[in-house]
Amino acid sequence: MPTHKVIVVGGGIVGLAAALALLKRGIDVQLYEQAGQLQEAGAGIQIGANGTRVLYALGLERALANVQAVPVARELRHWSTGETWTWFELGESSARRFGTPHLMFHRGDLHAALANAVTSLKPDAIALGKKCVAVGQTAERAEVRFEDGTRATASFVIGADGIHSTVRAALFGRSEVEFTGCVAWRGLIPMDLLPAHLRRMVGTNWLGPRGFLLHYPVRRGELMNVVSIVERDDWRVESWVIEGTTREFADDFCGWHADVQALIEAIETPYKWALMVRAPMPVWSLGRITLLGDACHPTLPFLGQGAVMAIEDAYIVAACLEKYFRDPAKAFSRYEEIRHERTAAVVRKAQENRAMAFEPRLAEKDAFADAIARDWMKVRVSERLDWLYNYDATAIGV
Ligand SMILES: Cc1cc2nc3c(=O)[nH]c(=O)nc-3n(C[C@H](O)[C@H](O)[C@H](O)COP(=O)(O)OP(=O)(O)OC[C@H]3O[C@@H](n4cnc5c(N)ncnc54)[C@H](O)[C@@H]3O)c2cc1C
């Protein structure tokens, strides 16, 4: 039976970030991923300044520069008239303000950059086709059991196996899930298939009464990512791989501006995801086993911080394991002490943002202008986001 210092279960963005953070500190790690090949969803992801700060500290700045998109601005648009407000600047101005830029990626590109960094430090660090079905532990070791009947042990196990985490269920039982009444749509468009006026390095938020739609460039500006959320109560599956149809997506945005219709029509394969909430977990660790990312604090995507929080987790849990390797209780209690309140605040505030994004009065012209002035202008946005982007996980003393 293979024996390691640390096992990470799950090879998503978050599991890979944890493996890289551990290897960078000289801690041997083995990652086990259920899929037969490493892959990520065909969708975009925004990484705010607090996330790029950690990725740069892990040595990824150059690899990311080859695939990132750096939007020059962010705009707000009225759902039916298309009226446009400049919202806040990104890219260079984020780097000036927070020290690191706000970047947009194709998830597959970010995932590949992390996987390459991991395997350049330990070529056989990632084992594929290994579905964890159970975990267990003694005072000295933790153990992972796989669907194929094999087992592996380590001093510590980290469950980074996502929103439907097997490790979480094994430690704490199944969590209660509540449907939010919202469905997320997403899809990618080759930039050159869009009308010329939409082919820009700008992130755009379309605000409307019962939904919003956001689009931003990824992969050096070669693709436009579209993600939208709409109130709907007839879809209950949380999955990155369930396809919807263009007609269904367009029906959800019936009456919206012609640019929104053009974006929806241009998406080759739209995917849909039902948004669920789970009660916050009071603890994430038991003995030598802990959780990180969506496995312990899944969040609604209204702040674009789910993966970023988990990247911060990865950096901190690695620092705690380096410092307290001989004291498992301390290693994970210190990790939770540092991370619990911040991630809980993100989960809470993302839920609060939902109310703002789905204001039914946005259907009225005057109410829309009021909402822009009240909720979306620069100073309000600073109040909402600066505490997120200023946080420096790499400077926290463990
Ligand atoms: C519509 C939408 C938009 C979003 N936009 C953003 C954004 O812009 N920025 C941001 O920071 N966050 C965003 N998020 C949140 C973000 O997508 C998640 O927080 C992030 O993907 C979680 O990563 P993860 O690695 O924890 O989980 P996953 O990405 O789910 O990875 C889990 C991995 O574990 C593997 N696995 C699962 N079970 C097992 C098992 N039993 N054994 C072995 N392997 C297993 C899976 O195959 C997978 O590879 C968004 C979410 C949604 C729904």
- Is 262:129 a contact under the CB 8 Å cutoff? no
Tens of pLDDT along 330-365?
A: 999 999 999 999 999 999 999 888 777 777 777 777
Residue nearest atom 6 in ligand 1 by C-alpha distance: 304
Percentage of the chain exceeding pLDDT 90: 74
Which pLDDT score, from 0 to 100, does residue 178 have? 85
Residue nearest atom 14 in ligand 1 by C-alpha distance: 306
Ligand 1 centre distance from Cα of residue 114 (Å): 14
Which pLDDT score, from 0 to 100, does residue 89 have? 67
> Is any ligand 1 atom within 6 A of the Cβ of residue 35?
yes
**Strand partners for 288:** none
Ligand 1 centre distance from Cα of residue 314 (Å): 14
Ligand 1 centre distance from Cα of residue 17 (Å): 12
**Residue whose C-alpha is closest to residue 60's, from 124, 9, 127, 112:** 112
Residues in the chain: 398
Count of CB atoms within 10 A of residue 5's CB?
Answer: 15
| Burial zone of 363 (CB within 10 Å; 0-12 exposed, 13-18 middle, 19+ buried) | middle
> Is any ligand 1 atom within 6 A of the Cβ of residue 184?
yes
pLDDT band at 249 (very low <50, low <70, confident <90, very high): very high
Helix (H, G, I), strand (E, B) or coil at 279: coil
The pair of three-digit structure tokens given for residue 300, joined into one six-digit string:
């609604």
Confirm whether 335 is a catalytic residue: no
Least trusted range by pLDDT, from 57-61, 312-316, 326-330, 372-376: 372-376
Ligand 1 centre distance from Cα of residue 378 (Å): 30
> Is any ligand 1 atom within 6 A of the Cβ of residue 128?
no
Q: Are strands 271-278 and 177-190 parallel, antiparallel or unpaired?
A: antiparallel
Q: Which one is catalytic: 32, 56, 216, 324? A: 216
The pair of three-digit structure tokens given for residue 36, joined into one six-digit string:
């037969």
Strand order in the sheet with 202-208: 84-89, 73-78, 202-208, 211-218, 223-231, 177-190, 271-278
Chain Cα centroid distance, residue 71: 18
Average of per-residue pLDDT across 315-341? 96
- Ligand 1 atom closest to residue 146's alpha carbon, by position in its atom list: 42
The pair of three-digit structure tokens given for residue 164, joined into one six-digit string:
């439907």
pLDDT band at 379 (very low <50, low <70, confident <90, very high): low
Q: How far apart are CA 59 and CA 221, in angstroms?
A: 23
> Is any ligand 1 atom within 6 A of the Cβ of residue 227?
yes
Is residue 65 predicted with pLDDT exceeding 80? yes
SS3 content of the chain, % helix, strand, coil (to 5): 40, 25, 35
pLDDT band at 29 (very low <50, low <70, confident <90, very high): very high
Average of per-residue pLDDT across 147-160? 97
- Ligand 1 atom closest to residue 298's alpha carbon, by position in its atom list: 19
Ligand 1 centre distance from Cα of residue 7 (Å): 18
